[in-house]
Structure 1
Amino acid sequence: MNKNDFQRIVIIGNSGSGKSHLSKLLSDALKNKKIIHLDEYFWEPGGFNKKRPSEIVHAEIKQLSLRDSWIMEGVFGDLAANALEHATVLIFLNKLWDECKTALEQRGSQSATQLDPAAAEASFKDLLSWAKGYNTRENSRSLIGHSNLYEHFTGKKYKLSNREEVASFLSGFKVL
């Protein structure tokens, strides 16, 4: 695996599939590439309950994708699509729901430090319910949407379906 091919990486997959974890490991292996977490652009600061204006977010992602080197990760296929024109690699984490659910439960609510405890718990339950629908939704933030991005991407691409495949992929970077 040639590390030089990995200049601009997009990672997509369901919530809990390991996108943030993989982006951190790749950033370390590839000498601290800037990680762009799509959540940070999609949501207003202070929680995961208020979306930012779509036209602003899309414009920001397009602008960020012009940089020389980055790793972009998130469930937002519509946002990721803005960067694919400039991406050199697409990684699709296509894990089973049970593995995603376990990871989400182990991670817990990411909004716990930003919201009051009751709101954080409600937000986390909403996330679990939403993520469970990944295989049945029919939008850009679903299995169908991500599969479509993967199918049409013409650069280097990797579909990783479980922890073993992710570990094998990462072994090419000697990050384990």
Structure 2
Amino acid sequence: MRKILIFGNSGSGKSTLAKRLSDENDLVHLDLDLFAWLPGSPPRRMPLSESSEKIATCLKGRDSWVVEGCYTDLLEILAKDASEMLFMDLSIEKCIANAKNRPWEPHKYESKEAQDANLDMLVSWIKEYDTRLDTFSRAAHRELFAAFQGKKTLYTENQVHD
């Protein structure tokens, strides 16, 4: 039974690692981006209680999963049930390079072009990781990681596998 939380800055490799772990270990894979936002534009956060309910519904009856995202408020809710925590604590520069080279994410964008049109905003967001004072910040992620009592691993490089 593995219940893994993966978190870090945008572009840190959370989705890539989560997908690999999901495929190799037959784990349900949830991307918190799909549970954190209300539909529409401009983007607005879904109420925490609603996000939490939707996540609980997806994980109900599952004894093994991997959940990834940057939302400390949602990760804190899941941490009590998690067996492992993986903190992708890469440098800002590495996260930007990863973001510029990421494959199309069809569950988030209607096309690769739409994803690429968002790149400048994403790079600005990545650069603010150390200075933000919110649930998406390096400081919030470090606090979450420090408080977790289960198995935990901190990565400062992307994990390369064949």
Same-fold call, TM cutoff 0.5:
yes
* TM-score between both structures, scaled by the size of structure 2: 0.84
Counterpart residue number, 1:13: 8
* Mean Cα deviation higher: 91-100 or 129-138: 129-138
Aligned residue pairs total 159
Q: CA RMSD in A?
A: 2.7
C-alpha distance in structure 1 between counterparts of 2:58 and 2:78, whole Å: 8
Amino acid at match of 1:125: D
Report the Cα offset of residue 54 of structure 1: 2.9
Counterpart residue number, 1:172: none
Flag the structure with higher helix content.
1
Counterpart residue number, 2:78: 83
Kindly report which structure 2 residues correspond to 1:94-109, keeping only aligned pairs within 5 A, or say none: 94-107=89-102
| DSSP-derived class of the 1:135 partner | coil
C-alpha distance in structure 2 between counterparts of 1:49 and 1:120, whole Å: 17
C-alpha distance in structure 1 between counterparts of 2:30 and 2:145, whole Å: 19
Counterpart residue number, 1:170: none
Q: Is the Cα contact below 8 Å between 2:104 and 2:111 reproduced in 1?
A: no
Report the Cα offset of residue 124 of structure 1: 3.0
Q: Is the Cα contact below 8 Å between 2:84 and 2:151 reproduced in 1?
A: yes
C-alpha distance in structure 2 between counterparts of 1:17 and 1:116, whole Å: 21
Q: Deviations over 1:130-157 (max 9, x none)?
A: 1210011122211100000100000000
Kindly report which structure 2 residues correspond to 1:78-157, keeping only aligned pairs within 5 A, or say none: 78-107=73-102, 110=105, 112-113=109-110, 117=114, 121=117, 123-157=118-152
Flag the structure with higher strand content.
2
| DSSP-derived class of the 2:77 partner | helix
Amino acid at match of 1:35: H
Structure 2's unaligned 5+ residue stretches are none
C-alpha distance in structure 2 between counterparts of 1:36 and 1:46, whole Å: 21
- Among 21, 26, 33, the alignment partner of 1:39 is 33
Structure 1's unaligned 5+ residue stretches are 168-174
Amino acid at match of 2:137: S
C-alpha distance in structure 1 between counterparts of 2:36 and 2:76, whole Å: 14
* Mean Cα deviation higher: 144-153 or 129-138: 129-138
* TM-score between both structures, scaled by the size of structure 1: 0.78
- The alignment-based identity, stated in percent, is 30
C-alpha distance in structure 1 between counterparts of 2:34 and 2:21, whole Å: 19
